Amino acid sequence: MVSLNEVMHDQQGVTAVFSDGTVSRFHGAWLRDNDRGQSARHADNDQRLFDITELPDDLSIEGAVVTDDHLDVAFAADGHVARFPVSWLFDNRYDREHETVLPDLWGAHLKTSLPVFDFSRVLEDDRTRMAWLQAVRDQGFGILENVPCEEGMVCRAAEIFGYVRETNYGRLFEVRSEENPVNLAYTGLGLNVHTDNPYRDPVPGLQLLHCLISNPDGGDTLLVDGFHVAETLRRENPAAFGLLCENWVPFRYRGDSSDLQARGPIIQLNDRGRIIAVRYNNRSAAPFDLPAEKMEAYYDAYRLFAKMLHRPEFELTFKLTDGQLMAFDNQRVLHGRKGFGGGKRHLQGCYADKDSLLSALRVLEAQS
Amino acid sequence: MVSLNEVMHDQQGVTAVFSDGTVSRFHGAWLRDNDRGQSARHADNDQRLFDITELPDDLSIEGAVVTDDHLDVAFAADGHVARFPVSWLFDNRYDREHETVLPDLWGAHLKTSLPVFDFSRVLEDDRTRMAWLQAVRDQGFGILENVPCEEGMVCRAAEIFGYVRETNYGRLFEVRSEENPVNLAYTGLGLNVHTDNPYRDPVPGLQLLHCLISNPDGGDTLLVDGFHVAETLRRENPAAFGLLCENWVPFRYRGDSSDLQARGPIIQLNDRGRIIAVRYNNRSAAPFDLPAEKMEAYYDAYRLFAKMLHRPEFELTFKLTDGQLMAFDNQRVLHGRKGFGGGKRHLQGCYADKDSLLSALRVLEAQS
């Protein structure tokens, strides 16, 4: 348990020396805004009770005192004392490098160790459920087996951790050959790896696919770790990587009383340069509308990324069989299928969002 | 109807002179990727039938011929001819400034001309429904009146254009005073203007609030056009604006078996510098974790933006009365309320996404 060895303050902030030797600086405005005292946070829901505009303009510090396991900071303008548990202060110190937990990048070799979990155990056992959700978070996908081959089970699986995202395709959609298909997914054609619905904003963060009838003659599943490919592009060709991050391109889907349009980058970074999303869908990419002077270089980068997606070392192929259900991160894992012949093949799919999955996982991890 | 006066080509691309004098350049890769011919797009769903990786590496152009109302472009590597309706080519020319249709920015003065529509007419009449959806798109909110004061009508209203986004608060949530409230919204406290659920990823793009019982003693609604305030900040203090765009900050909500966490910028831009989202919620802002050297300047910018949100000229106040229902853009319009006394006040709310609203609106506009 970390404690505070020494605290120094000036008007602008507090410098804390923790018992493990860590030295951290905390600014006056940050301290006052994050006051953990009773008057600052609601007892029932721990939400902040004040707005930044309700604080004095002058947040200079008058004193800082450590008592037992907390730090009291007094402010000059109004004499208010803000209170912080020392362990909370240590956990929330910002004067440091933030660890970047990288996801588990994978490729074709994962075929011998697919993340597969038993459906009944996921329902009944917290640790197995946690392991399935961790696979989706860390590897981008997790497979359930022994799922009853009944209609609608795909929604039941989404409700284990969250909520179905209903769309113009319904609460769930049927993936099988149709006459006059509104979408190429509903044909027997092979589909290159892609992310679903980049024409939607927000894009569905998760997709679930439940195999009710597999086809003996093809229809194998292809998965590619988009983060792995994008990180490889960043290393091999930083200029191309930059073009795909900085320029947004349009996607569109038209049909069955819908006209869905959205724009976004093929590779999306957060403010720390981490890859947080990949968008790639040859079927629904709308005509790119970048400035003419960028178009040639952009297409070179786009084609390079597309070719990398097809490299054998990145391409994981396996057959999803009857009773298997796959949940995957639609902003990371690209999926596709091989074409299939005349026989039947029937999958049911639905969309969901990642936030509830991650929330459920945090609660499970905190309990374990 | 635009036609083509002249077409010149070299190996790299086609230069087209349209009948209105517009001169546009189209690159070989773009032309081939956007081939509108029968072999390139599926007859039923108009989706692209090939992947960029299936095209030859060399997309140099061999010929370009105008016949009637289309342009045929022949490629050297494989002799393939791609076909383009001239009007399509004109509409999709990228060698130009893209018009930026700015939203209708508003402030306190809108009180005398609130966008209010009759619920029955919105249900029955395409033009009234279109006008309501246009208000949400262009002004960020639209009010329905004469909505039956029955439970669940808020979901019925969302289903006019799209789908309810279910969350840990349910398909719909009750906004009224509760004992042991899991959220400050469920108290009688006043709430500063905020956007909802910045701790969710994706953030709900739309919120609907249906007033079943208004309180005679307070509870007035406050709305602020976040895009207007952010554009004003961009003009008045570009450096502060830049800090709020470039740095992402964390938000968190903990309670009722949830631990929702997300990061994002307070002001979000697209690749063309247009404001596309605002996040602001004093209750659920988590401790900012920016590098120490940025923290002081960031807090100055944050406080400046927060103060601007409270400027009287931006603050629209009105009383939502029984039978009124407000749909608003939760990534643009901040909402709040004045505190209310001991009497009853009961609203029901739900979340939805903007993509289906915009899709429904495009379909209506194309028909009208």
Q: Which amino acid is at B18?
A: F
Is residue A288 domain-shared with residue A259, that is, in the same domain?
Answer: yes
Domain with B358 in it: 108-367
Judge: B95–A292 Cβ closer than 8 Å, yes or no: yes
Judge: A48–B284 Cβ closer than 8 Å, yes or no: yes
Does residue B311 sit at the A interface (CB-CB below 8 Å)? Answer: no
Spatial separation of the C-alpha atoms in residues A105 and B33, rounded to whole Å: 30
Is residue A116 domain-shared with residue A77, that is, in the same domain?
Answer: no
Does residue A111 sit at the B interface (CB-CB below 8 Å)? Answer: no
Task: Tell the residue number behind the tokens 């805004």, with chain if given.
Answer: A33
User: Which residues of chain A make contact with B283, given a CB cutoff of 8 A?
Assistant: 47-49
Spatial separation of the C-alpha atoms in residues B136 and A239, rounded to whole Å: 39
Chain segment B292-308, per-residue pLDDT in tens: 999 999 999 999 999 99
Q: What percent of chain B has pLDDT over 70?
A: 100
Residue numbers of A between 228 and 247 with CB closer than 8 Å to B: 246-247
Does residue B161 sit at the A interface (CB-CB below 8 Å)? Answer: no
Judge: B295–A255 Cβ closer than 8 Å, yes or no: no
Q: In the numeric block, which tokens belong to residue A66?
A: 């450590």
Is residue B113 domain-shared with residue B87, that is, in the same domain?
Answer: no
Is residue B278 domain-shared with residue B154, that is, in the same domain?
Answer: yes
- Substitution target in A22, A30, A129 with the highest count of B β-carbons within 10 Å is A30
Chain segment B48-83, per-residue pLDDT in tens: 999 999 999 999 999 999 998 999 999 999 999 999
Whether B264 is covered by a domain: the verdict is yes
Q: What is the CATH number of the domain that holds A296?
A: 3.60.130.10
User: Of B91, B123, B152, which marks where a domain is finished?
Assistant: B91
Spatial separation of the C-alpha atoms in residues A261 and A284, rounded to whole Å: 10
pLDDT in tens, chain A (368 residues): 899 999 999 999 999 999 999 999 999 999 999 999 999 998 888 899 999 999 999 999 999 999 989 999 999 999 999 999 999 999 999 988 887 777 899 999 999 999 999 999 999 999 999 999 999 999 999 999 999 999 999 999 999 999 999 999 999 999 988 888 888 888 888 899 999 999 999 999 999 999 999 988 889 999 999 999 999 999 999 999 999 999 999 999 998 799 999 999 999 999 999 999 999 999 999 999 999 999 999 999 999 999 999 999 999 999 999 999 999 999 999 999 999 887 789 999 999 999 999 999 999 999 99
By Cβ distance, the residue of B52, B255, B295 closest to A30 is B295
Is residue A130 domain-shared with residue A164, that is, in the same domain?
Answer: yes
Judge: B270–A263 Cβ closer than 8 Å, yes or no: yes
Is residue B83 domain-shared with residue B116, that is, in the same domain?
Answer: no
Whether A72 is covered by a domain: the verdict is yes
Is residue B79 domain-shared with residue B160, that is, in the same domain?
Answer: no
Q: In the numeric block, which tokens belong to residue B144?
A: 């329905």
- Is pLDDT of B322 > 80? yes
Q: What is the largest CA-CA distance in chain A?
A: 79
**CA of A196: how far to CAs of A73, A104, A280, A298, B242, in Å?**
51, 22, 8, 22, 33
Whether B101 is covered by a domain: the verdict is no
| Number of other residues whose CB lies within 10 A of the CB of residue A192 | 23
Distance from CA of B172 to the nearest CA of A (A): 13
Whether A99 is covered by a domain: the verdict is no
Span B246-258, average pLDDT: 94
Distance from CA of B92 to the nearest CA of A (A): 7
Chain segment B183-223, per-residue pLDDT in tens: 888 888 889 999 999 999 999 999 999 999 998 888 999 99
Across the A:B interface, residue pairs with CB atoms under 8 Å apart total 212
- Closest Cα in chain B to A299: B29
- Closest Cα in chain A to B48: A283
- Closest Cα in chain B to A53: B307
Who has greater pLDDT, B312 or A96? B312
Contact predicate A249/A264, CB 8 Å: yes
By Cβ distance, the residue of A12, A180, A247 closest to B271 is A247
| Number of other residues whose CB lies within 10 A of the CB of residue A285 | 24
Judge: B202–A200 Cβ closer than 8 Å, yes or no: no
> How many domains does chain B divide into?
2
- Is pLDDT of B46 > 90? no
Does residue B112 sit at the A interface (CB-CB below 8 Å)? Answer: no
Residues 6+ apart with CB under 8 A from B152: B172, B348
Is residue A143 domain-shared with residue A226, that is, in the same domain?
Answer: yes
Is residue B260 domain-shared with residue B331, that is, in the same domain?
Answer: yes
Judge: B289–A29 Cβ closer than 8 Å, yes or no: no
By Cβ distance, the residue of B47, B282, B358 closest to A48 is B282
| Number of other residues whose CB lies within 10 A of the CB of residue B43 | 8
By Cβ distance, the residue of A168, A307, A362 closest to B356 is A168
Q: What pLDDT sits at residue A183?
A: 85
By Cβ distance, the residue of B184, B270, B353 closest to A42 is B184
Whether A101 is covered by a domain: the verdict is no
- Closest Cα in chain A to B252: A47
Residue numbers of A between 20 and 39 with CB closer than 8 Å to B: 25, 27, 29-30, 33-34
Whether B102 is covered by a domain: the verdict is no
Spatial separation of the C-alpha atoms in residues B298 and B280, rounded to whole Å: 14
- Substitution target in B27, B222, B283 with the highest count of A β-carbons within 10 Å is B283
Chain segment A184-222, per-residue pLDDT in tens: 888 888 899 999 999 999 999 999 999 999 988 889 999
User: Which residues of chain A make contact with B166, given a CB cutoff of 8 A?
Assistant: 163-164
By Cβ distance, the residue of B42, B166, B355 closest to A262 is B355
User: Of A38, A57, A91, which marks where a domain is finished?
Assistant: A91
Whether A149 is covered by a domain: the verdict is yes
Q: What pLDDT sits at residue A188?
A: 86
Spatial separation of the C-alpha atoms in residues A229 and B136, rounded to whole Å: 39
Whether A98 is covered by a domain: the verdict is no
- Closest Cα in chain A to B98: A289
What's the whole-number average pLDDT of chain A?
A: 95
Q: What is the CATH number of the domain that holds B17?
A: 3.30.2020.30
Does residue A359 sit at the B interface (CB-CB below 8 Å)? Answer: yes
Q: Which amino acid is at A73?
A: V
Is residue B349 domain-shared with residue B206, that is, in the same domain?
Answer: yes
Is residue B183 domain-shared with residue B249, that is, in the same domain?
Answer: yes
Does residue A260 sit at the B interface (CB-CB below 8 Å)? Answer: yes
By Cβ distance, the residue of B270, B287, B358 closest to A34 is B287
What's the whole-number average pLDDT of chain B?
A: 95
Judge: B307–A53 Cβ closer than 8 Å, yes or no: yes
Residues 6+ apart with CB under 8 A from A96: A22, A24
Spatial separation of the C-alpha atoms in residues A180 and B44, rounded to whole Å: 6
Q: What is the dihedral of CA B143, B146, B152, B155, to 10 degrees?
A: -40
Is residue A179 domain-shared with residue A323, that is, in the same domain?
Answer: yes
